[in-house]
Structure 1
Amino acid sequence: MQVLKDDVKNSIRQAALSEFKKHGYLKASMRHIADAAGITPGNIYRYFESKDDLFDALIHPIYEQFNTYILEIKDEVESTLCKEASDHLNILRKVDATIIRLFKESSIELTILLNLSEGSRFEPVKQELITLVYQILEKVLPNEQPTTQMFAATLIEGVSLILRDHEDSDTIKMLVDELLYLYSAGISEKIKLLSLA
């Protein structure tokens, strides 16, 4: 009997991942999830109290991993005496590597977390990541607040779009690396221009 319950719960989870990836948290339907799982809508509530509870069960583990990695990077930024722009760019590469590692472990969940969590308690995660990248860039480009805010926001939005539009981890790594390379080149050029001024 327990095996059947586990099978039903796993069916609900798989159907929910598909629904949340297709429609996002706000527009996802518990009825569609139940239909895709092959159960009645009322039966789904025997396993999960609400859509929020189901979303949390799916996304919270990747959020915890994401948060742990990001806090480690943030601690490194705050404790490292980065003197060269390349030091900060190496930390940005760690952010890149973290996103790629999480994508390999939980691609659908990470895509949902960064792109489709509007209306859930996870909605601020993307802004938290933008803030972290801003804090890194702020040390590289002091007194350039609008520029660093723009760099941080567009870099994370670019990564989010790559995750949204691609499912192959090798393609994602190549595109994120290319995006980071272009940003690094742009930041390095900006630093040169500021040093000449």
Structure 2
Amino acid sequence: MQVLKDDVKKSIRQAALSEFKKHGYMKASIRHIADAAGITPGNIYRYFKNKEDLFYELIQPVYEQLASYTLEIKNEVDFKLCKETADHLVILRKIDATILQLFKQSSVELTILLNLSEGSRYESVKQELITLVYQILENVFVTTKETPTPLEVNEQQSARMLAVTLIEGMSLILRDYEDGDTIKVLVDELLYLYSAGISEKIKLQGQC
């Protein structure tokens, strides 16, 4: 009997992942999940309280991993004395490596977390990543000035724009591709282009 229950729950989880990836959290339908799992909607509620509970069970593990890795990187940004541009670019690459590692382990769940979690408790995750990258870029721009001073408004806007487009770029790659090797190549290329652009911006900043 327990084996049958486990099989039903596994079918629900697989159907739910497919539904959330196709429609996102807000538009996902318990009825569609039940149909795909070959059961009635009422049977789903024997295993999960509601759609939020089902989404939580699927997404929470990858969220906890991402949150743990992000906290480690944030602590490094906050407490490590990064003096060279290369120090900060190494930290950006750690974000790259973290996202790729999580993709290898839980590709569908990570894609849903970053792209399709609007309306859930996880909808701020992407913004948290953007804020982390902004903090890194802010440190890069400040520490590479001839006389370190707080960023001007236009410099803050530039750092924010770079942070947003970097994380959005990674998210789009995860959304549009499923092959792990292709994703690694594209994310690495994206980070390389940003690193080159940031280095050039810093060089021009030093000439002003």
With normalisation by structure 1, the TM-score equals: 0.99
Deviation digits for residues 98-127 of structure 1 (CA, Å, limit 9, x no counterpart): 000000000000000000000000000000
Which residues in structure 2 correspond to 1:47-66 (within 5 Å)?
A: 47-66=47-66
**Aligned partners of 1:191 and 1:86: how far apart in 2?**
12
Give the Cα separation in 2 of the matches to 1:146 and 1:123.
Answer: 23
2:189 corresponding residue in structure 1: 178
Q: 1:154 aligns with which of 165, 176, 194?
A: 165
Matches within 5 A, 1:111-190: 111-142=111-142, 143=151, 144-190=155-201
Residues matched between the structures, number: 197
- Which whole-Å CA distance do the structure 2 matches of 1:82 and 1:168 have between them? 35
Percent identity at matched positions? 77
Q: Kindly provide the CA deviation profile for residues 39-88 of structure 1, in whole angstroms up to 9, marking residues without a partner as x.
A: 00111100000000000000000000000000011111112110011100
The two structures, once aligned, show a CA RMSD in angstroms of: 0.5
Q: Which amino acid aligns with 2:135?
A: Q
Shift of 1:141: 1.4
The match for 1:37 is 37
The residue identity in structure 2 corresponding to 1:151 is L
Give the match's secondary structure for 1:181.
Answer: helix
Once residues 75 and 172 of structure 1 are traced to their aligned partners in structure 2, the CA distance between those partners, rounded to angstroms, is 27
Query: What is the one-letter code of the residue matched to 2:139?
Result: K
- 5+ long unaligned stretches in structure 2: 143-150
Displaced runs of 4 or more, over 3 A: none
What is the TM-score normalised by the length of structure 2? 0.94
